[in-house]
Copies of this chain bind each other. A is one copy, B any other.
C-alpha cells in the first residue's frame, strides 16, 4: 500500500474547500515590455507598465515588493527564458524575481528550491513542453507544497503557454491545428490538476487551435475548454471566478449542451462531428464563472458575487 505524506493528506482534506490562492493562466507571448516597432503598434496594444499581464501578476501578489520564482522546467532554453522574465519584471520595478531551473525529478527534490517556494508570494511556469511539467513534477513534494499554498494562502500560481496548459487536470499535449478534428489527433493526458473540470489551450488564435480544443471538450463535455490567445490570460479566483486580462481574446467552450457527437464511435482518423457546442469570446474585463458556467460582460455587481 502506498504511504501518504502529511502534505498530501492536508491537501486532500482541504481540496473540498475553496482555494484561497489565485491562478493566472496565459496563452503565451505575453508582452515583456520589449521595444515594439514604432511603425507597427497593434491597435489592441496595452501599455506594458500599466495594463500588461506581468503587471497584473505582481498586483495579485504584493506589487513591486512581491517575491516570485520563475520555473523554467518546460523550456529547453531555461537560462534565456529566466533572464527574459527577470528583465521584464525588472522594468516593472520588481527586483525579487528568482529563477528555478528544475530540469528533472531529482532537481525537484533539492531543499534549496523547496525552501524558496515556501517563501515566495507566487510562482510562474514558463512556456515550453507541458509534458515536461507533468512528467517532472507529478507526485513530487515540490508540487504538493505549491498545491497546499495555493489552497490555503493568497498564493499566486501563474503559467504561460505550456505553463498554463499544465494547470488543468485534463491536459492537451499534442495535436496539429489542421488535423485536430480527426479522431485521435489530439493527445490528452493528466496535468498538474491545479484546477479541475477545465481544459486549457494556449496560443489559441495565431495557431488556429479551435479544432483540438473542440475535440477535447467533445470527448469530455463535463470540462470547460479555455482557449487562451497570445498576450491574453485569465485570473482565476476561488477556483471559479475567471477574469479576462491582456490584449487579445479567450474562447470558452461549453460542451454541456452537446447533443450529438460521434467521437466515441469513430475510427481513428475519421472526421469528428459535434452538435451544439456553446462558445463565448471573452476580452479584457469580461468574466466567466466556471461553476455555474455564466458569462458576464463586466464585473458582476450582484451582492456576494466577485467584488
Contacts and interface: CB of A to CB of B under 8 A. Distances in A.
Contact of A286 (B230, B249, B273, B277): B273
Interface in A269-305: 269-284, 286, 295, 297
A214 interface: yes
A180 B208 CA distance: 11
B282 A273 contact: yes
Given A178-B205, A268-B43, A270-B44, A278 B276 contact: yes
A44 B273 contact: no
Given A177-B208, A206-B178, A249-B211, A281 B270 contact: no
Nearest to A288: B275
Contacts of A270: 43-44, 283
Nearest to A252: B275
Contacts of A273: 244, 249, 280-283, 286, 297
Do most interface residues of chain A lie in helix, strand or loop, or is the interface mixed? loop
A44 B110 CA distance: 48
Nearest to A230: B178
Given A208-B210, A247-B271, A271-B284, 12 more contacts: A44-B271, A181-B283, A205-B211, A208-B208, A211-B249, A214-B281, A218-B281, A249-B273, A260-B297, A273-B283, A275-B295, A275-B297
9 contacts: A42-B179, A178-B230, A181-B283, A208-B209, A218-B281, A270-B283, A272-B283, A274-B280, A279-B279
Interface of A: 42-44, 177-182, 205-211, 214, 218, 229-230, 244, 247-249, 251, 259-260, 262, 268-284, 286, 295, 297
**Nearest 3 CB-CB pairings of A with B:** A208-B208, A43-B269, A271-B283
